[in-house]
Structure 1
Amino acid sequence: MKTYLIAQDLWGVIEGMEETPDQEKNNVAFNAWSKKNSMALHVIQISCGPNLFSVIIREISLAKIAWNTLAKKYTMLKTTYSGTDNNRNDSYVEYEDLYKAVRGGDWNAAKEFLERRPDALNAKITTLGKMALHIAVVAGQERIGEKLVERMSREDLEILDNFGDTALNEAAVRGEYRLVKCMLRKNESLVSIGSSTQTIPLVKAISYGQIETARCLYSVTPLEDLMPEKDHNGATLLSNAIYTRNLDIALHLVKRCPRLALSLGKDGNSTLLALASTPNAFPSGNPLVFWKQGIYNYYEDGNGMLHMAGMFTDSNMLNHISGAALQMQRELQWFKEIESIVHPKAKEAINKDGMTPRQLFTKTHKNLRKEGEQWMKDATTSCTVVGALIITIMFAATFTIPGGNKQNTGLPMFLNRKWFTLFILSDALSLFSSTTLVLMFLGILTSRYAEDDFLVTLPRKMIIGFSTLFFSIATMMIAFCAALSIMLNGQYWIVILIICLASVPVTLFIVSQFRLLLEIAISTYRANIFNKKMKPLF
């Protein structure tokens, strides 16, 4: 479990390296810490299940305290495994040599004992009801475990310890991949035997982060064992597959049994809760159908699903998005999508601070909105200056045409030449497009910059502004080249050379800025995060 918590960047909460921030001084940091604490506590709880351990930590709200409490309890239980006299019943003393041999990896001694006492192969040799095979699994003695399985019958492998676990359950929890495969070769029905909480080996393996073992068990576990009408295993597997980023398993499972997306797992966990807790696992462009399925669920502090979607924390998922304005747009899109699928009452739900989800969103995104406003103003100011210069140049070029005008009629000297027609058309297009871009960017500069404006209104104006900017620059350069062609009649090698040189700054500008235009367009008009072919759940 520690390895999984480290991999998910949650170990700092357990170890105490991340101190609890003062909510009044730094609300954003406090929300980020609170979210990590909740996720770490959730991992600990689902790993324990509703047995002796979860009873002990059920009322604990801090992941660090829950971890330390379990550590103390485990130390007490460990003495039973180690053979301490105070925790051993005299009736188990006769198996002490076998226990030590198996735990120490001495197969010759274990084999000699079993030849003298064949009945010890399937006997419970500790106060916890563990067989020799259980001990081999716990001690990580794969070779001895395989030797024991060879000697045991199918029925022997189904024997439970005092916690209701088979040896396969123990192997699944500890990720003993080879022992799992060894036991399944002799008795495939072991995959359907759950613990005292009816948790089957597959769910135990993925809950403890033993992914390789979980994949092996998933390939042989019957679908009937995962159906929602049987028990919690299917729904729990689905949630844990999402938490552990095994999305191929999650998607395959939902395709096999869509009803699981609406089912509650162990301890009341839901699919939607798992999805809302891991938004960075689903980059745009990979919408999943079952995102529309889920049950409204509440977190600690009275924060519901929509409250959690409205919280802002510094996340790696935003680092690849250019500019604070587009980051704000992304946050709004995420909030709007969650809002569209939760129960209508969730939109007005109040947390312990008396805030609705929208009020919490506004509060936590206040700084990001200001940064987005400043980013847009800086970008549009620069582009407006460029557009104004193009307007000035193109307007002046209309009255200072190449070759001048005829004295008697006032008409252009080269009116009937093709290059002159190209010059006039390019000049007019550049003038009109640059005027449009200036108006668009002025509209952005004078905007009120409300939260919802970042969703579509402001990005749309940016798209129009940048597009017309590129077009006006391109047509301005065409007008310039056409004018040179008129003035240098017959000198085509000079004209071609100048056209090539003129295309360099245009190309450089478009290449440097086109990526931003493309990002804005994709972010604004791409497919939604959720699959819109699905009907609303409520």
Structure 2
Amino acid sequence: MNYDHLATHLPIHKAALSDDWESVSQIFEKDPELMTKPMSYLGETPLMMAVGTNNSHHFVKRLVDRILAVGDTDRLFVTSSRGDNPLHRAAMTGNTIDAEVLVEQNPGMTRVPNSDGYTPLNLAAWHRNKGTLRYLLRVMAGLVPEEEGSSPYTGVAGGNLITLVIEAGFLDIALEIIGKHPDIAIEEDMNSKTALEVLGSKPGLFPSGSTYGFWSRLIYSS
């Protein structure tokens, strides 16, 4: 078995995890394909590994700039063997800094689900990364309206989003979303649950144990 690839893959892997762009800059200059090549056992690219640390921000910015410079823009969002792209990873780790770098290149990727059907919005809510969730919601608000049937606020996609936001305990964000998209409150998620059902089963979300205040505001917003 040939292990020659380890001579380049291991240093790149280490550099991505330790925010050490300088140690691999020349490697990428000699072989640009390595910048977007899967290198871990999960099929992660150097960009995805670096984003996942939520600490290698210098490495991410320099790598994205270099990928753009060689014209490989379409390779920025290569997916892992689990179906995640770098923006999904940023949402999971609460990495808003690198999410902004990625979204600047392709805002539409905020709508793209992974192989499990979760968008970056869903993942930010699921992992309780409130700052990243708010950022992604702002990006979504600025996008051109989707084609009918593809909105993240309707159908199962909408049900997943609002129930995950409520499960995370972000009731302020839930109210904001419902205020703008009232029908999302009755959309069913992938488990056939609606926002109203999830709320009714979680009195612990409210310090007083009563949901009346929230229900009142929900009714008015809807």
Q: TM-score, normalised by structure 1?
A: 0.35
- How far 1:286 sits from its partner (Å)? 5.0
Aligned length: 204
Aligned to 1:35: none
**Are the equivalent residues in 2 in contact too, given 1:92–1:125 (CA < 8 A)?**
no
Aligned to 2:65: 150
Q: 165, 168, 181: which is aligned to 1:241? A: 165
- How far 1:290 sits from its partner (Å)? 4.7
- Structure 2: 5+ residue stretches without partners: none
Query: Take 1:244 and 1:89, find their aligned partners in 2: how far apart are those partners?
Result: 47
Change (3 A) 1:104 1:272: same
Letter of the 2:75 partner, please give it: D
Change (3 A) 1:286 1:175: closer
Aligned to 1:112: 26
Q: 196, 207, 210: which is aligned to 2:115? A: 196
Query: Take 2:14 and 2:2, find their aligned partners in 1: how far apart are those partners?
Result: 16
Q: 211, 215, 237: which is aligned to 2:134? A: 215
Aligned to 1:260: 184
Letter of the 2:90 partner, please give it: A
Higher helix content, 1 or 2 = 1
Query: Take 2:198 and 2:27, find their aligned partners in 1: how far apart are those partners?
Result: 49
- How far 1:119 sits from its partner (Å)? 1.2
Aligned to 1:288: 216
Query: Take 1:101 and 1:251, find their aligned partners in 2: how far apart are those partners?
Result: 42
Query: Take 1:164 and 1:273, find their aligned partners in 2: how far apart are those partners?
Result: 30
- How far 1:168 sits from its partner (Å)? 0.7
Change (3 A) 1:249 1:208: same
Secondary structure in 1 matching 2:82: coil
- How far 1:127 sits from its partner (Å)? 2.9
2:61 aligned with 1:159: no
Q: 91, 95, 120: which is aligned to 1:172? A: 91
- How far 1:98 sits from its partner (Å)? 1.4
Query: Take 1:110 and 1:178, find their aligned partners in 2: how far apart are those partners?
Result: 22
Query: Take 1:236 and 1:89, find their aligned partners in 2: how far apart are those partners?
Result: 45
Mapping 1:83-482, distance limit 5 Å: 90=3, 92-93=5-6, 94-140=8-54, 141-153=56-68, 154-221=73-140, 222=143, 224=146, 225-229=151-155, 232-279=156-203, 280-281=205-206, 284-288=212-216, 290=218
Change (3 A) 1:139 1:285: closer
**Are the equivalent residues in 1 in contact too, given 2:111–2:152 (CA < 8 A)?**
no
- How far 1:284 sits from its partner (Å)? 4.3
**Are the equivalent residues in 2 in contact too, given 1:175–1:205 (CA < 8 A)?**
yes
**Are the equivalent residues in 2 in contact too, given 1:92–1:127 (CA < 8 A)?**
no
- How far 1:246 sits from its partner (Å)? 2.1
Change (3 A) 1:246 1:117: same
Secondary structure in 2 matching 1:266: coil
Change (3 A) 1:91 1:138: farther
**Are the equivalent residues in 2 in contact too, given 1:173–1:205 (CA < 8 A)?**
yes
- How far 1:90 sits from its partner (Å)? 4.3
Letter of the 2:216 partner, please give it: L
- How far 1:116 sits from its partner (Å)? 1.7
Change (3 A) 1:275 1:283: closer
- How far 1:207 sits from its partner (Å)? 0.6
- How far 1:238 sits from its partner (Å)? 0.8
Letter of the 1:248 partner, please give it: D
**Are the equivalent residues in 1 in contact too, given 2:91–2:123 (CA < 8 A)?**
yes
Secondary structure in 2 matching 1:205: helix
Query: Take 2:218 and 2:123, find their aligned partners in 1: how far apart are those partners?
Result: 23
**Are the equivalent residues in 1 in contact too, given 2:92–2:129 (CA < 8 A)?**
yes
Q: TM-score, normalised by structure 2?
A: 0.80
Secondary structure in 1 matching 2:24: helix
**Are the equivalent residues in 2 in contact too, given 1:89–1:127 (CA < 8 A)?**
no
**Are the equivalent residues in 2 in contact too, given 1:193–1:201 (CA < 8 A)?**
yes
* Larger RCO (alpha carbons 8 Å, 6+ apart): 2
Comparing 181-190 and 198-207, the one that deviates more: 181-190
